[in-house]
Structure formats: C-alpha cells, structure tokens
Amino acid sequence: MHSAPTWDPQQYLRHSGHRTRPFLDLLARVPDLPAAGRPARIADLGCGAGNVTALLADRWPDALITGFDNSPEMLQRAAKEYAGPTPGGGRLDFRPGDLADWTPEEPYDLIVSNAALQWVPGHADSFPGWLDALAPGGVLAFQVPGNFVAPSHRLLRDLCTRPEWRDRLGDYLRGPASVLDPAEYLTRLLGLGCEVDVWETTYCHLLTGEDPVLDWVKGTGLRPVLTALGDDPEAVDAFLAQYRDLLRAAYPPGPHGTVFPFRRLFAVARKAG
Ligand SMILES: C[S@@+](CC[C@H](N)C(=O)[O-])C[C@H]1O[C@@H](n2cnc3c(N)ncnc32)[C@H](O)[C@@H]1O
C-alpha cells in the first residue's frame, strides 16, 4: 500500500481557470435543492484548495457548506482562503476526511465532488451510503476525468514501467479502471432509485507557455510519482526530463498554443423526493 500523494495547492491552482470550467458545467445541471425551510447543507468531497467549494456559495448563498479532503496541504490552503461566514449568511468549513471510508454524519441536500473520486478505488460502492444520507430530493453530483488513455496519462504509465523506473514506480499509477464507464455510472445510480443525468465532454484546452502539459500534470496525475521520488531530487529531475520529452512529441505547440484535449465524465443523481 503506497502512502497518499502529497499535493501542492500552488501548482494545482496554476490551471484553475481550465479546471473550474467542468465544475461550473456540472453545477449548471444540478436541480434546485429540496426546500426544507432551513439553509441547504452541502458536502464537497475532495474539496482541494477550496476554490471550487467557494463557488457553491454563489448558487446557494445561505448554505452550510463543508469541504472534506485528506490532504493537509490542500485543507490548510482552503481554510486560510475561504473558511468562515459567506456573504449570503451561510458558512464554509473544511474538515479532514478520507473518501475511502467517509460516512456522512448529518443529512445533506447536496453531495458534490469535482475531479476527486478517481483517486478513490471502489468509490461507486459508496454511492448507496451517500444517497442514504441525502434528504429526500437531494442530489449527488460528481465529475471525474475520463482521459486515462490520453497520451499524457498513457506515456506516464509507460515511463513508470520502463526498467529504469519499474522497481520504484511500476505500480504507482492506476489506469482507466480509476473511473467507471459513463453507462456504468448511469446504471448503478438508476439501480439505486435516482433520477439520473450522465454525460461526457471533451474540453479542448488551449495551454500556453513552455511545456504546459507537463506543468498541468505536475498538479495532478504526477503527484504519486513526485511523492514516491520525493526524497531523491536527482531522480525527480531525470524522470521529469524523460516525461517532458515524450510530452513535447505528443503535444507539439501550434500557432495559438498547445491543444490539450481532456475528456471528463459527469453524473447528477437526484434522490426520490
Ligand atoms: C484534482 S484535486 C480536485 C480538488 C477540487 N475538488 C477541485 O476541483 O479543484 C483532487 C483532490 O482529491 C483529494 N483526494 C484524493 N484522494 C482522497 C481521499 N481518499 N480522501 C479525501 N480526499 C482525497 C486530494 O487531496 C485533492 O485535493
């Protein structure tokens, strides 16, 4: 069992504009929450640096919103930037929690997760418990990447299994099995009695600067490798140089920048009212 990757909020937030778009697209499909005569209660699973958690208060100004994450670095950043009362009379809080065994301790109206469940093996097995904890008419909404066969990820996995790296990194990265097929999410959530909307989108991100795909992956997909090699800066440099060369060939810059297609999967499941 490997230790959890160490996150770097500053690196992750370097592409926050592109990374926020899918969250906004997800929220646009979340229906109104049940009117319970009290502020909505919202849980954001894998809240990261809190910047997308804070956007929930724009849509539900008086909501009590709690972000859960198991990265101390991310939680510290989130708490520093966003914790406290919101302008609409609600509140943002951030708490440690491991999604592998997170059990809702109070009824929620919305459980949302953006770009986090792919890190949690077997996450779909938690859906029944999470739905149980929703108020009638409550919503489970999540977005996960669906790009595990894209060159950025395939080349990374291939590099980790080269003889030079295999012993240290060979089993560090999970592949396409990190997420389910969209149809599988749909079937599972329908089977749990929800009204369900599942879709996928491939964003054509236009990145700028030198080696922008490497810079992007350093914030997310590379975290397990950087964590595993963390005590060996020379190995980190050697690995990054090899990966950078592979990415340069796979994503050559064009006249307007570097095109980085990124497929993402979305699900919105509404519990019966
Ligand atoms: C790619 S970031 C997404 C952060 C945020 N949701 C956003 O959209 O900006 C993934 C987050 O999931 C968190 N995470 C990964 N595995 C987790 C687990 N088992 N329990 C709790 N959080 C986890 C990481 O710490 C990280 O903050």
CATH number at residue 53: 3.40.50.150
In a domain? residue 159:
no
| Range of the structural domain that residue 93 is part of | 9-146+175-207+258-270
Q: Indicate whether 78 belongs to any domain.
A: yes
Is residue 164 scored above 90 in pLDDT?
A: yes
- Judge whether 183 lies within some domain: yes
Where does ligand 1 bind, in terms of residues with CB under 6 Å? Answer: 7, 19, 23, 46-48, 52, 69-71, 74, 97-100, 114-116, 119-120, 220
Evaluate whether residue 236 is within a structural domain. no
Rounded to 5, what percent of the chain is helix, strand, coil? 40, 25, 35
Residue 151 within any structural domain of the chain:
no
Whether the model pTM is above 0.85:
yes
CA 231 to centroid of ligand 1, rounded, Å: 23
| Model pLDDT, residue 1 | 56
Q: Which long-range contacts (CB under 8 A, 24 or more apart) does 99-105 make?
A: 99/45, 99/46, 99/68, 99/70, 99/123, 99/126, 102/45, 102/68, 102/126, 103/129, 103/133, 104/43, 104/129, 104/130, 104/133
23 is written with which tokens? 């969250």
Element (H, E) at 45: strand 41-45
Atom 13 of ligand 1 has which residue's CA nearest to it? 46
Q: 46 C-alpha to center of ligand 1: Å?
A: 4
193: confidence class by pLDDT, cuts 50, 70, 90: very high
pLDDT top residue among 27 and 170: 27
Distance (Å) from CA 71 to ligand 1 centroid: 7
Domain membership flag for residue 20: yes
Specify if 215 maps to a domain: no
CA of 111 to the centre of ligand 1 (A): 14
Phi, psi dihedrals of residue 53, rounded to the nearest 5°: -55, -45
Ligand 1 atom with the smallest distance to the CA of 113 is: 6
Atom of ligand 1 nearest to the CA of 99: 20
Q: Which residue has the tokens 């077997």?
A: 122
Does residue 95 fall inside a structural domain? yes
Query: How far apart are the CA of 267 and the centre of ligand 1, in A?
Result: 17
Provide the domain count of the chain: 1
